[in-house]
Amino acid sequence: MAGRDASRAVLFDVDGTLMDTVYLHTVAWWEALRQNGHDVPTSAIHRAIGMGSDHLLAHLLGPGRDTARDDDISAAHGVLYGQYWSRLAPLDGASDLLRACADRGWSVVLASSAKPAEFQVMRDALDADDVIDAVTKSDDVEAGKPAPDLVERALERADVPARHAVFVGDAVWDAQAAGRAGVRCLGVLSGGFPRQDLLDAGAEEVYDGPRDLLTHLEDSLLGKPSALGD
């Protein structure tokens, strides 16, 4: 920990929440699927971004598919998406939001479904290591979102109970994973999911993006830690 209040933590999804990467992932998955004989519309792929890749392919192609090519599809996605790594950029206000949460006493945890090398690229781009207390990545869990595993592991890394944490994410899969882990959730629209979809999935409040949440931080759940209870 970085010396802040270890009794409460804010857990941040990264892709689409802090980093402007959702549509890049969409295009990379579209091409990877096409290369392997699957014609899937980008609209469907976009709505699956935020799932762990283990769930994403089943969601898009169906559970009864031949899974023999799954590794090839995932590998193709990795190569295609890797072409963007040098240009990945945080969303407006993302790093400032992390710092503002830390300044208000929150332990800050990044909870990402990304693989380690990809995660490190995003972490470097955020340039906020001095306020990041813990991280979780895809290789830390058995199942990706919407399973609760990633959120639960983030809670372990933060060493706080679910009732003392808030999860911030951009996808319905984030809200569902948080809910299954017993963690309250804030949503942001920067990943392209509609406001009502996030609310229906369990987000208590929804903001346009990191900058909007930062602007309204004092009025948000993150500005009222006493609302988390004892």
- Res. 3 pLDDT band, cuts 50 70 90: very low
130-144, 155-169, 181-195 — which is least confidently predicted?
Answer: 130-144
Express as a percent the part of the chain with pLDDT over 70.
95
pLDDT band for position 54 (50/70/90)? confident
pLDDT given for residue 160 in this prediction: 95
Per-residue pLDDT of 172-203, as tens digits, reads: 999 999 999 999 999 999 999 999 999 999 99
Render pLDDT for 11-50 as a digit per residue (tens, 0 to 9).
999 999 999 999 999 999 999 999 999 999 999 999 999 9
Instruction: Please state the rounded mean pLDDT for residues 128-137.
Output: 95
Mean pLDDT of the chain: 93
The DSSP string of the chain is --SS-TT-EEEE--BTTTBS-HHHHHHHHHHHHHHTT----HHHHHHHBTB-HHHHHHHHH-TTS-GGGHHHHHHHHHHHHHTTGGG--BPTTHHHHHHHHHHTT-EEEEE--S-HHHHHHHHHHHT-GGG--EEE-GGG-SS-TTSSHHHHHHHHHHT--GGGEEEEESSHHHHHHHHHTT-EEEEEGGGS--HHHHHHHT-SEEESSHHHHHHTGGGSGGG-GGGG--
Domains of the chain: 9-21+89-228 (3.40.50.1000), 22-86 (1.10.150)
